[in-house]
Structure formats: structure tokens, C-alpha cells
Amino acid sequence: MSGLVGGPAPEFTAEALSEGEITTLSLEAYRGKWLYLLFYPLDFTFVCPTELLAFSDKIKDFDSLNAEVLGVSIDSVYTHLAWTETPRTNGGIEGLQFPLLSDQKRELSQAFGVDSPDGPAYRGLFLIDPDGIVQQMTVNNLPVGRNVEEALRILQAYQHVAEHGDVCPANWIPGETTMVADPKASKGYFSQLS
């Protein structure tokens, strides 16, 4: 699973629900953009709608950063459709602002290393750059959701690195000082620490 970071994302073509329509989406369609692939266990569950809605509610932030989000679960597109038509007050994700891929055969979850032997896929989050390279991944067990603000911070950090070539220290946020990845040049950064 960790072998994915720094290498090409597994290619995929999958049936999807997008804006209420059943369609087919592929990784190739997202070349030239940053992409978050958001694996979640199941539709109509508990933590899952909180995560999907958190990402959906921030979709304009992702858009402004030239990034797309795709949700993935082992549910069918028809289950996705029913869930997207269920009001939030009833545990639904009505108004979701990004597509949901169907991984009924578990091919995507296996390719990305998040397939669980005892049930649905783990909560995997993969950041794929415009060239199709996996830059970051996190995998959570089923009971704990991810943080959309941290996903945005990570995206901005990798975009900064791609544009400027320097590196981002721990807890970096846009506008803060970065460092040069060089033993001598990095001392400029370290000299500012107290």
C-alpha cells in the first residue's frame, strides 16, 4: 500500500453517479488536475455522510485550487443515487457536489490497498497530482473520519512544492516560511527557530 506514494496511481475506469446521472469516469479524465480519491466504507452509514458532506461543503475551495474530489465505495450507483436523494437530516447526502464511483467488484479498493478482508473498504484518501502521481495517502480504520481542512492544507503544501521546489516543514500553512532541501541552505530556516 505505501508503495503507491511517489508512483503512478493505479489506472481505473468505473461506473459513477455524477450530478444525478449514471456515467463512467476514469483517472485519465483527471490528468492536468489535482485529484483526491476518497474511499469510504458504505452508503447509508454513520461516519461516512459526515466525511462526504464535509468535503462537499468545501468543494469551492478544492475548485479554486484546481482540484477535484471523487468518492468511492463498494455500493452500486443505484445505492449512491438513493443516498444522494436522501435529506441530510435523515443521514443522507442530498446536494453532494462531487461524483461517487461504484467499486462493487472491489477492484479499485484492492488496487489502492484499502480493501478490508472482513467488510467494506477502509477510509483511504489519496492525493494524485496532475501527472497521475500519488503524492500523499492516509488510511483510517472504519470508526474515525478524516479532516477536510487537513486535506486542503496538504493539497496546498504539495502545490507549493510543485511550484517553488522548496519543502514545507511540519504544520506549514500557506504564507508561512518554507525551507530549501539542502544541508547548508536549510540553516536559514532553522536559524529563525527559537
Long-range CB pairs of 81-90 (<8 Å, 24+ gap) are 81/17, 81/20, 81/22, 82/43, 83/43, 83/44, 83/49, 84/17, 84/20, 86/44, 88/49, 88/53
Q: Longest C-alpha distance within the chain, in Å? A: 58
The torsion angle over the Cα atoms of residues 104, 91, 81 and 112, rounded to 10 degrees, is -30
CA 132, CA 112: separation in Å to the nearest integer? 13
> 186, 180 in Cβ contact below 8 A?
yes
Out of 4, 25, 27, 48, pick the active-site residue: 48
Query: Do residues 191 and 181 make contact, with C-beta atoms less than 8 angstroms apart?
Result: no
Cα→Cα distances 85→61, 67, 157, 185, Å: 24, 25, 35, 54
CA distance linking residue 44 with residue 59, whole number of Å: 21
Active site residue 48: yes
Active-site residue set: 48
